[in-house]
Amino acid sequence: MKTGEYIFMGMGHCNEHLVCMSVGYKIDYCVKKAMQFEQASEGRVILESVNKVRVGNLEKETSFSRPELQEFIDEFWKNERETWEAPDQT
């Protein structure tokens, strides 16, 4: 798969509407941005799935549920913790 051949769309629900939370050429970036959206919305919008769509098409080819995305979600939170940890004062 070449970069630019597909896009990944992070999807969630807000006020009973399906919304696109993020878009990226790589799934890890898409999940990262969706998790940032989830944080900013204070939990009002929750990442539910990521759709893989061939650029130029209107229908998704594949959908990944939140449990299937757990590896990327865990990586996001690991990086967030590292960003906010205080440097060693020794």
What's the pLDDT band for 43 if we cut at 50, 70, 90?
confident
Over residues 42-68, mean pLDDT: 93
Question: pTM of the entire structure?
Answer: 0.81
Q: Return left, alpha or beta for 15; rule: phi > 0 is left, psi -120 to 50 is alpha, else beta.
A: left
Distance CA 56, CA 60 (A): 11
Distance CA 63, CA 90 (A): 47
pLDDT at 83: 65
